[in-house]
Amino acid sequence: MDDNTEILTVALTGLNATDNPGPGLGVIRALREEYPKIRIIGLSYDSLEPGIYLHNWVDKTYQIPYPTAEVGLLLDRIKYIHDKENINIIIPNFDSELYNFIKIAPELTGIGIQTFLPTHQQLEARDKANLYKFGEMHGLNVPTDIIAYSAEDIKKAEEKFSYPMVVKGKYYDAYVAHTPDQAQKSFYYLSAQWGFPVIIQQFIKGTEINISCLADGGGKAISIVCMRKLYITEKGKAWAGVTIDSEDLTELAQKFARATNWRGSFELEVMRDANEQLFIMEVNPRFPAWIYLTVAAGQNQPAMLIKLTQKISLPPVPAPTTGKMFVRYAWDHIVDVSEFQQLTAFGEL
């Protein structure tokens, strides 16, 4: 396949661009840089995801069933979209939808749609509720935690480690609690938002670093780009960051890839403490929202993922360029309300 002349059709999710943005727009930007003729099909869950209305980035959008819906509904909807759009590749960009997409991957392959996803076992191993045990098993530093199913479990956390502590939702969101009252409020909010369990984690003070990786499924991370957060939102999301490089960060990413035989993209959220120890705070099983920074660093991970799905040999990956910085910003995009009404009524735009 000629990468730059063949017109690929890629469908993807993650078109939201709020203060907790999805990876979708960054992935699209990276793909369009490598594949000028690419056709992008947006898959949305909500009619107000901003990427839907950015027509210079997204060629057409279809609504799909929420991840909580029966998996057969998702498969039927994808088949309907495929009949119209002839999709080559699907890239899911949300944690909560991965289980369903992994489950239907064999059926997607059967109708000509490629994916490059981890297995259910790999997904489960890095789950927030299992991460501490995973770290113990493979010699990785992970903060101590308590898996909480009721507010009473906060007391167990207090007995195990002191305040402040981090209260995390099953899929998303995390809050630093300095008092029992703050811990309780965070527990109730996160359990209502994302369900159980809620994870209460030991607080580690240090420098926040994120590592975006792409692994081949055979125990090797073929691309590793590290970013130090420069500005962090109230939700703990990077609003500015700069590429860095160090041998211990690279080895940490390779160690995770070897331990899991991970297939596809993943992001390590890491804390470097005052003693230079690295702690894995979370493992996100998809591209991060700041994924376009990998392009600036000379390693276009979304484009590499496309080549992996197409079984195209990758050239040697250069060392990432350090000192490349991103600064995120907000933009008021004006659209006609008729577009919103059309998507809401017919599920297509």
Reported residue count of the chain is 349
* Phi/psi of residue 228, nearest 5 degrees: -95, 130
Q: Are residues 21 and 84 in the same domain?
A: yes
Q: Is residue 4 part of a domain?
A: no
- Final residue of a structural domain among 156, 187, 202: 202
How far is residue 304 from each of residues 213, 222, 343, measured CA to CA in Å? Answer: 11, 9, 32
Bridge partners of residue 114, in order along the sequence = 89
165 membership: H or E segment, kind and range: strand 165-168
Q: Are residues 210 and 309 in the same domain?
A: yes
3-state class of 169 per DSSP?
A: coil
Under DSSP, the state recorded for 95 is G
Range(s) of the domain holding residue 323: 205-327
Q: Is residue 96 part of a domain?
A: yes
Q: Are residues 109 and 51 in the same domain?
A: yes
pLDDT reported for residue 1? 40
Bridge partners of residue 242, in order along the sequence = 228, 325
- Which DSSP string corresponds to 213-263? EEEESSS-EEEEEEEEEEEE-TTS-EEEEEEE--HHHHHHHHHHHHHHT-E
Q: Are residues 211 and 323 in the same domain?
A: yes
User: What's the pLDDT tens digit per position in 30-60?
Assistant: 999 999 999 999 999 999 999 999 999 999 9
Q: Is residue 122 part of a domain?
A: no
Q: Which CATH number covers residue 63?
A: 3.40.50.20
User: What's the pLDDT tens digit per position in 147-194?
Assistant: 999 999 999 999 999 999 999 998 878 889 999 999 999 999 999 998
Place of tokens 């003693």: 275
3-state class of 326 per DSSP?
A: strand
Distance between CA atoms of residues 266 and 254, nearest Å: 12
Q: Are residues 316 and 337 in the same domain?
A: no
Q: Which CATH number covers residue 271?
A: 3.30.470.20
Number of structural domains found in the chain: 3
